[in-house]
Copies of this chain bind each other. A is one copy, B any other.
Amino acid sequence: MNRDWIGSWDRLRVDWRASVGLVGTVVKYLAGAFLIPLAVALYYGEDVLTFIASLVFAIVVGVALERADPDPELGAREGFLMVALTWLVVAFVGMMPYLIAGIVGTESTLARPENALFESMSGFTTTGATVMGDISFDRHSHALLLWRQLTQWLGGMGIIVLAVAILPELSVGGAQLMDAEAPGPGIQKLTPRIAKTARVLWIAYLGFTLLEMVLLYGLHLLGLAPNMGLYNAVSHALTTLPTGGFSPEARSIEAFSAAVQWVIIPFMVVAGTNFALFWHCVTDGPKRLLNDTEFQAFTGIIAALTAIVAGQLFFGIGLQAIPVDGFSFSGKLEASVRHAAFQIVSIVTTTGYASMDFNTWSAPAKYVLLFGMFIGGSAGSTAGAIKVVRWVVVLKSLRKELFTTVHPAAVAPVRLNGNPLDERTIRGIYAFTLLYLVFFFVGVVLVIADAWRVGHYLSAFEAMSAVAATLGNVGPGFGSVGPMNSYLDFPLTSKLFMVFLMWIGRLEILPVLVLLTPAYWRT
């Protein structure tokens, strides 16, 4: 079986040409996306060559890849390969503006290819971890920073397709729990139906994005958000719905008024909710949303954790030290609740915005946030990490495990929204959750060892937050990777490893791991 591995591509059982061909089509669409920053560059009178060059590059790559198979037909296997390749190739093509502008423009950390790749992968995976040393219009054009925001919004669209079309295919990991209309035996048979579902969810995605844009800009027009001009309103709406978290402001949402922070909170909650449920709201009313077990758990977790942190801040025990600006929350109810709610929602939904530097919080408050990084939003949303529905099933299953210990003969299936789950689904969810934690642990050790290699002592807490924030597509962590800092100081090897973590985490690990099994390729 291994003997004739090399030179036997034609005997592979997976039609890799079809996958590559379809990736080419995606890259061609991506070329079209470069028109938006190009238009912005024209408006602001900024460098346009960067985007023209990127656009041409994308078309060339797209057309070249499409030639692998001009008329691709995808089965389930080709679907996995296509998804894994798409995020990789798109990240490489999407890094071009950073690289070109970094080399020909003002001096920038993004002139180094690994940094440009990191920033691009962080964008398309909606992670929001950054290696931009200095986020400002002095150093980067409006067009380039908008491109950075746009990568997240495009990544979010990709994730919706992923959740609708690819993950339900992979019954491992329990992704089939996504309450969409799509699950079925094979991709090619379902294409029209998937396309319809994806379109419906994209409409919701686009609609919420526009609504947030209008509300944010409306606050500005009402005088409640002086610096939330049109550029900022567009920029932040583009990174809220994909739970992205990039901001053209160096200090993230701290730069804006309390009103802005209050408006963004519900949109982050929406972004972390199963989009299919909104569609049900439109067609059947809100009952199904409100009765959904995952939605109840998701909002319940947010409320509980917010209450804990708000209490800490309000009673003055939530801060390790008074924050830089000399402001304390002790006894200030609105500010305590706002920052607690904002930060908990931002982390649990894996958005990664910051309404303040939560590095200044006390150890217990920070650990609540670290804990939150593993929860993730809902399945069928743009959120990353493990996801609420998996935790719900794990906890229900553990409870059942205890019950059947006492009653070995009892037959009591684990139910979700009233439907019994089969053993295979539950085992798949356990497997995913455990795999996620194993990747996390191994990742932490590798990142610490790599930092130690170059003489940098990285604390376990920093390393854990960095790995949880990249693997879970959260973005910022703590300490040197805090919300007001960056991932710039990591060695090259760690950056490439984190690019891998963002990639594999975004694709829910298993579709990538499957590609590493011989059975995928040969039998």
Give chain A's interface residues, CB within 8 Å of chain B: 77, 170-172, 362-364, 367-368, 370-371, 374, 394, 397-399, 401-408, 423, 426-428, 430-431, 433-435, 437, 441, 444-445, 448-449, 452, 457-461, 464, 510, 513-514, 517, 519-520, 523
Contact = CB atoms under 8 A, between A and B. Distances in A.
A452 B431 CA distance: 35
A427 B423 contact: yes
Given A398-B431, A406-B519, A406-B523, 8 more contacts: A363-B448, A364-B448, A367-B449, A397-B427, A407-B519, A427-B430, A459-B461, A460-B464
8 contacts: A172-B402, A363-B449, A399-B517, A402-B514, A403-B517, A406-B514, A430-B430, A459-B460
A397 B517 CA distance: 14
A513 B402 contact: yes
Given A364-B449, A523-B407, A401 B428 contact: yes
Nearest to A13: B406
Given A363-B448, A459-B461, A172 B404 contact: yes
A365 to B, nearest CB: 9
Contacts of A510: 401-402, 405
Given A363-B452, A437-B437, A517-B406, A431 B397 contact: yes
Main secondary structure on chain A at its contact with chain B? helix
A375 to B, nearest CB: 12
A6 B251 CA distance: 57
A445 B171 CA distance: 33
Contacts of A399: 517
A370 B464 CA distance: 14
Contacts of A434: 394, 398, 430, 433-434, 437
Contacts of A404: 172
A406 B514 CA distance: 8
A448 B403 contact: no
A387 to B, nearest CB: 15
A513 B362 CA distance: 32
Nearest to A404: B172
Residue of A399, A407, A434, A517 with highest tally of chain B CB at under 10 A: A434
A262 to B, nearest CB: 29
Contact of A452 (B362, B449, B460, B461): B362
Nearest to A394: B434
A427 to B, nearest CB: 6
